[in-house]
């Protein structure tokens, strides 16, 4: 029987930013294949993302997933200034990015989301919203399997 690697979820710190940006860049290259007009994985964008996370790490919750003591994923979670976003009196938070090393499957992704759910419940949230690209059918399927439901559809119009 194969032993499972050690898994651990914790809040990110500034020493984690390079690895977070590296994982984000890999994800953007994948999304570029889905929507090349919107996702341009340039070094400038990678540097900007790293700076954005660095500037907001105190205001955002950024969780990292460690497997065998290496960061293999991260999630950024936003909330309002008072800590709770409400919609129809339902407190919720938003996952802006949920990035996982592509070599790990739905099982690891599910466990990572479960850890985020535990944290959200402790904070008093009743719902978690997650933004994913509509063309990413695998992600949509995976998150539905975890328990997410599609509730809003964001549509765009390019103006040329």
pLDDT tens, 107-151? 999 999 999 999 989 988 888 888 888 888 988 899 999 999 988
CA distance 108 to 153: 26
Q: How far apart are the first and last CA of the chain?
A: 57
Say what the pLDDT of residue 73 is: 96
Mean pLDDT of the chain: 83
Residue 126: other Cβ atoms inside 10 A: 14
Strands 90-100 and 127-130 turn out to be parallel
Say what the pLDDT of residue 3 is: 44
Positive or negative, the CA dihedral 116, 117, 120, 126 is positive
pLDDT digits (tens, 9 = 90+) for 57-115: 777 889 999 999 999 999 999 865 455 555 566 778 889 899 999 899 889 999 999 99
Taking the CA of residue 123 as centre, how many other CA atoms within 13 Å lie in the half-sphere pointing to its CB? 23
Residue 153 has pLDDT above 90, yes or no: no
Nearest to 99 by CA among 54, 145, 55, 49: 49
Q: Where are the domains of the chain?
A: 7-146
For residue 85, give the H/E element and its range: strand 85-87
Of the candidate CATH numbers 1.20.1250.20, 3.40.630.30, 3.40.50.300, 3.30.460.90, the domain formed by 7-146 belongs to 3.40.630.30
CA distance 144 to 141: 5
Say what the pLDDT of residue 1 is: 37
Residue 44 has pLDDT above 80, yes or no: no
């Amino acid at each position: 029987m194969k032993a499972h690697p050690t898994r651990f979820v914790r809040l990110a710190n500034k020493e984690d930013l390079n690895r977070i940006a590296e994982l984000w860049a890999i994800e953007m290259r994948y999304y570029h294949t889905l929507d090349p007009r919107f996702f341009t994985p340039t070094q400038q964008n990678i540097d900007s993302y790293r700076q954005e996370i660095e500037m907001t790490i105190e205001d955002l919750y950024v969780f990292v997933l460690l497997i065998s003591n290496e960061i293999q994923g991260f999630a950024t979670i936003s909330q309002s200034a008072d800590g709770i976003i409400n919609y129809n009196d339902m407190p919720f938070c938003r996952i802006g990015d949920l990035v996982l090393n592509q070599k790990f499957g739905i099982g690891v992704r599910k466990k990572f989301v479960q850890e985020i759910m535990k944290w959200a419940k402790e904070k008093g949230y009743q719902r978690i919203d997650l933004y994913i690209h509509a063309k990413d059918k695998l992600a949509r399927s995976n998150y539905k399997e975890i328990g997410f439901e599609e509730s809003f559809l964001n549509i765009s119009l390019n103006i040329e």
